[in-house]
Amino acid sequence: MEEVNNSLKNGKTNNTIKAMEILEEVLKETELNETTSLSVGSMVAILHKPKGPFKGLNIFATDDKATLSEAVPNSRVSVRLPRELEAESSNTIVFCMLTWPDRSTTLWGSSHELYESRLVGLSVSGKNITGLQERVNITVNLAGNGTTTSFNKSFTETLQPKCVFLNFSTQAYSTDGCITLWKFGQSNVTCSCDHLTYFGVLMVSANISPKDQEILSYITVIGCSISLLTLIITFLLFITNRKARADLSMKVHIHLVIALILLNLHFLPSQAVALSSTGFCFYMALSLHYSLLAALIWMSLEGFHLYLLLVRVFNIYVKKYLLKLSVVGWGIPAVIVALVAIIDRSSYGLVPLDSANSNSTAICYIVNNTVKMVTTVGVFCLVFIFNMFMLGVTVRSIVILRRSKEFGPIDHDRAKRDIYTLLGITTLLGITWGLVFFSFGYLTTAGLYLFCILNSLQGFFIFLWFVMSLRKTGKPATMGSSETRSTNS
């Protein structure tokens, strides 16, 4: 510990990492019969051998002492080790907190400052702890203790905490397997990780202000709640309206409605259960993945149905058409989710809502970035491209129809109907989801606001479209056959 403490003072990277690795091995091999607390210079450590079945462990540390007691004033770091470690009496649990004397420098080539130049090391002798389902939680106090810089609100307008671990092989920081649990104004940050090593908190520049993050979170929750309520009303209107139940297009729409109901039902409570039991979080993540895929697939089937109505107008009969659409719309997502769960169950877990910002709200979803990119982003891109093409076909068909001489001069009422039709089709096809492509760079804030407002209210817009469609079907036909066909399409 003296050697490592001297390395911390000298600040030489290679020497420090080598000394840290040696110290970790020495501490794990140290023979002891009871819990032992150690302190040398800017380092504190605690060694503990479990007695009896391991039920988890809480560790608390100040600048000069580490203990297992909860009554620790001015605690700088607290750690919760899960039962899943399954440590036995032959294993030594090692906690080590290192603090560099120079707190103004960055470490190991990072462009960001390590908060209070502090790393927290965790290990268990005889075990290589990775891929935990029940995560390790390291909570760092950001309030300061009178001798350090306080992490106040004005500071967090430009900087935010980000949990990382030190990768000894690359001598660099990484976020793999770690989630940052922190909200604007909180005096502490929790690093929730699925492995044991040396952890720290980097101060990174905020792409979007904490205030905007809070507002966007409220917009999303309120919008999704409104959508869920109106989607349920839409479904009830459908099953109680005989004409709607007899209309094929309405039947296709109602499948999308059900998919969006499932999506909102699993998305809204996901944050609340994010830190609950592993089994429940796995179910929420799997269900949310399935619901999202089902919604995307049914949006593409809306585009396919639109293609049949607009392009293959005179030959659209398909035997057991709705059954075949249902097999595709509900079956493909089930196959994808089942394959992911069978191949790697750990692909589902706790992740930030915004993958580009580890400080955002954590939910139960897909942990593996490759799985997420292929099964959600990839599917979305294909659906979006197809539906954009179908929107173009729709616009072209309406323009050609309005130029036809059989309709005579253009009137404002007809133009309004065309606009309403295009807005309704845009909602059904999920075109507004494409705003995510504009949520970067200088457009990040504006793009995210538009994305959250329009997409969280997608269910409400579908409800309006559905009600207007019911009103149309209830009115007597007053237009020519050609226009009637176009309006229904």
Q: What is the CATH number of the domain that holds 322?
A: 1.20.1070.10
Please tell me whether residues 121 and 225 are part of one structural domain: no
Q: Which residues contact 248 (CB under 8 A, 6 or more apart)?
A: 321, 322
Question: Using CA atoms, how far apart are residues 236 and 241, in angstroms rounded to an integer?
Answer: 9
Q: Are residues 117 and 38 in the same domain?
A: yes
Mean pLDDT over the full length of the chain: 79
CB 45 within 8 A of CB 1: yes
Higher confidence at residue 300 or residue 42?
300
- Three-state helix/strand/coil letters over the chain: CHHHHHHHHHCCHHHHHHHHHHHHHHHHHCCCCCCEEEEECCEEEEEECCCCCCCCEEEEECCCCEECCCCCCCCCEEEEECHHHCCCCCCCEEEEEEECCCCCCCCCCCCCEEHHHEEEEEEECCCCCCCCCCCEEEEEECCCCCCCCCCCCCHHHCEEEEEEEEECCCCEEECCCEEEECCCCCCEEEEEECCCCEEEEEEEECCCCHHHHHHHHHHHHHHHHHHHHHHHHHHHHHHHCHHHHHCHHHHHHHHHHHHHHHHHHHHCCCCCCCCCCHHHHHHHHHHHHHHHHHHHHHHHHHHHHHHHHHCCCCCCCCCCHHHHHHHHHHHHHHHHHHHHHHHCHHHEEEEECCCCCCCCCEEEEECCHHHHHHHHHHHHHHHHHHHHHHHHHHHHHHHHHHHCHHHCCCCHHHHHHHHHHHHHHHHHHCHHHHHHHHCCHHHHHHHHHHHHHHHHCHHHHHHHHHHHHHHHHHCCCCCCHHHHHHHHC
Position 457 pLDDT exceeds 50: yes
Mean pLDDT calculated for residue range 140-145: 71
Mean pLDDT of 239-251: 87
Report the CATH number that the domain containing residue 96 is assigned in CATH: 2.60.220.50
Same-domain status, 285 and 365 = yes
pLDDT for 418 equals: 64
The answer to whether 13 touches 3, Cβ cutoff 8 Å, is: no
What is the arithmetic mean of pLDDT over 46-65?
A: 87
Are 177 and 323 in the same domain? Answer: no
66 and 137 belong to one structural domain:
yes
pLDDT category at 66 given cuts 50, 70, 90 is confident
| Mean pLDDT score, 263-281 | 77
Q: Is the pLDDT of residue 143 over 80?
A: no
* Chain position carrying tokens 């209210």: 457
Same domain for 317 and 457? yes
Minimum mean pLDDT among 134-138, 451-455, 478-482: which range?
478-482
Residue 258: predicted pLDDT: 95
Q: Are residues 250 and 163 in the same domain?
A: no
Check pLDDT > 50 for residue 297.
yes
What is the reported pLDDT for 150?
Answer: 44
Predicted confidence at residue 487, as pLDDT, reads: 33
> Which residue in the block uniquely carries the two structure tokens 């109505």?
309
Lowest mean pLDDT among 100-114, 201-215, 243-257, 361-375: 100-114
What pLDDT, on the 0 to 100 scale, is given for residue 232?
Answer: 95
Q: Which of 177-186, 210-219, 457-466 has the highest mean pLDDT?
A: 457-466
Would the pLDDT of 370 be above 70? yes
Per-residue pLDDT, 180: 86
Q: Which of 205, 239, 256 is the last residue of a domain?
A: 205
**377/385 Cα distance (integer angstroms):** 12
Cβ proximity of 44 and 61 under 8 Å? yes
**Smallest Cα–Cα separation from 454: which of 299, 223, 293?**
223
Q: Are residues 277 and 180 in the same domain?
A: no
Q: Which of 208, 140, 205, 195 is nearest to 443 (CA)?
A: 208
Q: What is the pTM of this model?
A: 0.67
- pLDDT value of position 154: 43
Domain identity same for 220 and 187: no
* More confident: 352 or 476: 352
- Range among 117-126, 232-241, 388-397, 462-471 rated most confident: 232-241
- The mean pLDDT value for 266-273 works out to 81
Residue ending a domain, choose from 205, 225, 246: 205
Q: Are both 399 and 301 inside the same structural domain?
A: yes
Query: What's the confidence (pLDDT) of residue 482?
Result: 35
Query: What is the structure's pLDDT at 475?
Result: 53
In the chain, the number of structural domains is: 2
As a whole number of angstroms, the distance between CA 105 and CA 36 comes to 32
Which residue would you say has higher pLDDT here, 33 or 173?
A: 173
Choose among 189, 106, 117: nearest CA to 149.
117
Q: Would you state the pLDDT for residue 168? A: 78
Q: Which of 205, 233, 252 is the last residue of a domain?
A: 205
Q: Which residues constitute the domain of residue 139?
A: 2-205
Question: Do 244 and 299 belong to one domain?
Answer: yes
181 and 317 together in one domain: no
> So what's the pLDDT on residue 443?
54
Question: What is the average pLDDT across 370-399?
Answer: 87
Residues 6+ apart with CB under 8 A from 261: 228, 231, 232, 235, 459
Q: What is the mean pLDDT of residues 249-276?
A: 86
Judge whether residue 263 has pLDDT over 90. yes
